[in-house]
Amino acid sequence: MTGSIDLDAYFDRIGWGGATNPTFGTLAGLLHSHVSQIPFENVDVLFGRRVRLDSDGLQDKLVRSRRGGYCFEHATLFSAVLENLGFRAARHSARVILHTPASAAPRNHMFLTVALPQGLFVIDPGFGSMASRSPIPLREGALMRRGEETHWMIRDGSLWVLRTQLGDKPANAWASTLEQDNAADFEMANHFSATHPASPFVNQLMINAYSGDGRVGVLNRDATIWRHNRSQKMQLGDRRALRRLLHDQLGFDLPELENIRVPAIPEWR
């Protein structure tokens, strides 16, 4: 990522008024605020728009326009903020293995590690509904719990695997060799994710956002709103309902949503 970061604008976007020195407390606070305030969403991919990973593009979309993005956008922006604050952050790619074995999954997820005196921590702000809002220790089996979120890392041969709790069962989320990748590697993976006909982001609508005391999730036409540990499920009747939901719950209004094409929804193709 090239270009400068407007830290004041970013802090205002995520509602951060705390410390900025490169400590664990600062890292944990920034990560929680970032994930809680900036949604995960792939709307621009479905519009066929270019997903930019440069400094100006990310700040214009995620900060100034108060939009969201997917993993490459979240992790690239967050890593630039951390580096501007003096943190040592490294960028990595992973294979998402929730529904696909590692041998068949592409390296199309981006996350970070940050080195601190307390150890090395996994930072993954762009993993949608399963993103940890807390730094995860890179130690085998060290649990990170926050509310209903539980994450931990395990070894599988040469791979590090992120595990999370889905209901009453643990699930393998992604696997990585933990080698450090270059910006060009993420540009390639981002291009595949945003344009390839087989990419899930090209075919499905995916949104996750924290809103006040709850959370909102959308997968195609199925929407779920969590409030006070209770969930309300609904099906979006049409694209106008989608526009209203994002306006009311995420705080941005896109008139063009009324014409969005979602291949996974026959009526919206």
Q: Indicate which residues carry an active-site annotation.
A: 71, 109, 124
Task: Count other C-beta atoms under 10 Å from residue 248's C-beta.
Answer: 12
| Ramachandran category for residue 171: left, alpha or beta (phi over 0 → left; psi -120 to 50 → alpha) | beta
Identify the DSSP state of 139.
Answer: S
Instruction: Return the amino acid letter for 63.
Output: V
Sign of the four-CA dihedral 132, 135, 137, 143? negative
Tell me which DSSP letter residue 107 carries: E
Would you give the end-to-end CA distance of the chain in angstroms? Answer: 34
Q: Is 168:150 a contact under the CB 8 Å cutoff?
A: no
Handedness of CA 11, 35, 96, 88 (dihedral sign): positive
Closest to 251 (Cα-Cα) out of 70, 126, 66: 66
CA-CA distance, 236 to 178, in Å (whole number)? 39
Residue 232 identity (one-letter amino acid):
Q
Find out whether 224 and 191 touch, Cβ atoms under 8 Å.
no
State the angle between helix axes of 71-84 and 24-37 in degrees (0 to 180), rounded to the nearest 10.
150
Amino acid at 217: G
